[in-house]
Amino acid sequence: MGQHHVFWELDWRLKLVIGAVTVAAALAVLRPPQKHPLRFALALFGLELGTLVAVRGLVAADGQRWWQFAVAYALVLIPGLFAVVVLNRLGWWRSAGFTPLRAWRGPLSMVALALTLVIPLIGLWGHGLLAMSAGLLAFQVAFLLLDVFMEETIYRGIVIRALQPHGVVRATLWSALLFGLSHLDNLFLAGSELGVLYQAFEATLLGVVFGAVRLRTNAIWPVMLAHAAYDFILVLAYGHAVAVQPSIPGFVVVTLVNAALAAGALALLRRSRPAIPTLEAAA
């Protein structure tokens, strides 16, 4: 009995409209982070998600033409460039984690980042390397690096920075939830809807680890490196960072491991009590 993929089968024009409406709604609720940190964070989430859905519609238009591979980079370039503009406008580069090595702290918490790679490495060992051309691998790696920069800058940089006045734990949990939900744009790709929901759930747990380590170390660079390594392992095994529908035992094991890492990272964060910055006015 074949699967019916409702979102993937939508006309590309409808995907474009859904994305555009999401972006418009996000712009309507956007408020300065100094006054409305949570609304600011939700608006950034909506802007990213809407952009991803709209571009997926463009990529799906009119078959597989050469220009659509270039348009695919817009998935990560548009929200990534927007994040850079926001950081420049607010003057948040250092407070968002783009700090020099001398400002890093809590190096032992980076062990949690290394442990997040255990599950994908086990998967790679069991699945083996996927044969692919050098050109395709280069395309995937370039896309991966841009995607990691975009996601980390938005969720572990800007969002977690904006929400810190609510407390570091709440900021970490909110940024992790929004990061996980941002993967729902993959519903508009061919594949398993259940696999996408699983990906969003596990990304939320990993987002807790990444966010807690980001605040504990006062640096976003180690988190970016771990995130890139995680996705690169998936590329080597599957060709790209896909949403794979898990078996029940696999779901249980992965969830238990990621939940344990998230709980441990939050415990370290509570113990460290990083300073909560005062939101400066936009420049």
Please compute Rg for the chain using Cα positions.
Answer: 19
Mean pLDDT of 29-50: 94
CA atoms of 109 and 176, how far apart (whole Å): 17
Asked if residue 64 has pLDDT above 60, the reply is no
CA atoms of 17 and 56, how far apart (whole Å): 11
pTM: 0.92
Q: What percentage of residues in the chain have a pLDDT greater than 70? A: 89
For residues 111 and 276, which has the higher predicted lDDT (pLDDT)? 111
Token pair of 200 as six digits: 């969003």
Work out the pLDDT band at 159, boundaries 50, 70, 90: very high
DSSP labels for the chain? -----TTTTS-HHHHHHHHHHHHHHHHHH---TTT-HHHHHHHHHHHHHHHHHHHHHHHTTTS--HHHHHHHTHHHHHHHHHHHHHHHHHT-TTTTT---GGG---GGGHHHHHHTTHHHHHHHHHH-PPP--HHHHHHHHHHHHHHHHHHIIIIIIIIHHHHGGG-HHHHHHHHHHHHHHGGGGGGGSSS-HHHHHHHHHHHHHHHHHHHHHHHHHT-SHHHHHHHHHHHHHHHHHHSS---PPPPHHHHHHHHHHHHHHHHHHHHHHHHH-PPPPP-PPP-
Arithmetic mean of pLDDT over the chain: 88
> Backbone dihedral region of 200: left (phi > 0), alpha (psi from -120 to 50 degrees) or beta?
alpha
Question: Taking the CA of residue 201 as centre, how many other CA atoms within 13 Å lie in the half-sphere pointing to its CB?
Answer: 15
- Per-residue confidence (pLDDT) for residue 283, from 0 to 100: 38
Angle at 281 between CA 277 and CA 283, to 5 degrees: 120
